[in-house]
Every structure is written in C-alpha cells, then in structure tokens.
Structure 1
C-alpha cells in the first residue's frame, strides 16, 4: 500500500511493533537511512525472499527505497507471501523530509 511520507512516518512512530525496512543496496544504505531501518537488498532476490519468509506475518512493515519503485515491488511480494500490512513510502528517500541516520 502506497502512503504519503507524513502518514508513513506517523504510523511507523506510533507502531511499537512496526519494522522499518530499507530495500536499497548496502552502498545506498550507507549513504544515509531512516533511523531504525533494517537493510535488505531487493536486488539480491534469494536473500530478500528468505528475509521476507522469516518475518513475523502479524507485524506492520514500513518499506522504502530510493524512489518508491523497489519498495513498491517489495510490498507486493510481501503481500503475496502472507504479510498483510506492508506500507510503501511514496517517493522514497529522494523525497524524504524526515530524519536520517
């Protein structure tokens, strides 16, 4: 589900069990990330699928990438694998106005 930056951040901050997932490459992640994010490279499909398979299907996941495309695809895959609540950050980190670590 694509949601605005404001809604995405507010939901993530209010969700004690929520998980922020950065699906960019390790180099992209190293250049700055949203605080609390877990990094898993979408382009390494086997590792990505193994990561998704290991997730708690009852939690909410707040997913982002550079522009919103990879994270949108990630959310779709997560939904197919049984995770109902995967929220895509519209515009990705390129349009992010919030804090970075």
Structure 2
C-alpha cells in the first residue's frame, strides 16, 4: 500500500475485508467447512454457484441482516457475487454487523468460471 493509499483510504474500507483471487479463494474454501455465501439473487444462484454456498440475497435487506445475524462473527466468511461489486457492499455491511474476517472473491463468480 502506498502512502497516498494509506492517507486517503476510504472510511468504509476495513482491514477485516480481504479481496482474494480465484486460486486463493478455491484453496481457502476447500480446507475446512467455511461460511461460504453467494449474495446474488436466487435466480442468479440457480443459474450456477460454487458448491456448498448458501444464497443470501444482498437486495433483501431484512432477510439479509437476519441470515447473517445467525452466523458466527468470529469465523471467516467467504463472499461472492457476479462481478465483485455487491459482495464488496455486503462485506462493508458485515463489518458494521461485527464480522472480523471477510474474504471476497476478486471478480466474483465470473472470475470463478474464467
């Protein structure tokens, strides 16, 4: 990280959120049982998803919050969406909810299938 990045870092960014590439993501989720969440819509999820992922639609505010409130905040959460945009927004929400280890798939599901 450059000094300029450090000085002008957005206040919504957090050290709790790590963006990792598809190769690192695959290794991480294959190790143990992990909290793997697809934040796309149910329709997108049905069109294809990563094995063992739970679908929690980012656009369903109350349901989204409720589903994550039942998850373990001290364990890592692995998020993805279609391209990486929604999962970043979801990650920032999770930080506010108290999650401390969030891993986001760089490039989203598109990168997974590339």
TM-score by length of 2: 0.80
- 2:99 counterpart residue number: 83
CA RMSD in angstroms, aligned pairs only: 1.3
Distance 1:29 1:97 in 2: 14
Q: Which runs of 5+ in 2 are unaligned?
A: 1-17
Between 89-98 and 52-61, the greater mean CA deviation after superposition: 89-98
- Of the three residues 13, 22, 25, the one matched with 2:41 is 25
- 1:97 counterpart residue number: 113
Q: Show the 5 A alignment for 1:67-82.
A: 67-82=83-98
Q: Computing the radius of gyration over CA atoms, which structure comes out larger, 1 or 2?
A: 2
Aligned residue for 2:79, secondary structure, equals strand
Q: Which runs of 5+ in 1 are unaligned?
A: none
Aligned residue for 1:2, secondary structure, equals strand
- 2:7 counterpart residue number: none
Number of residues of Structure 1 aligned to a counterpart in Structure 2: 97
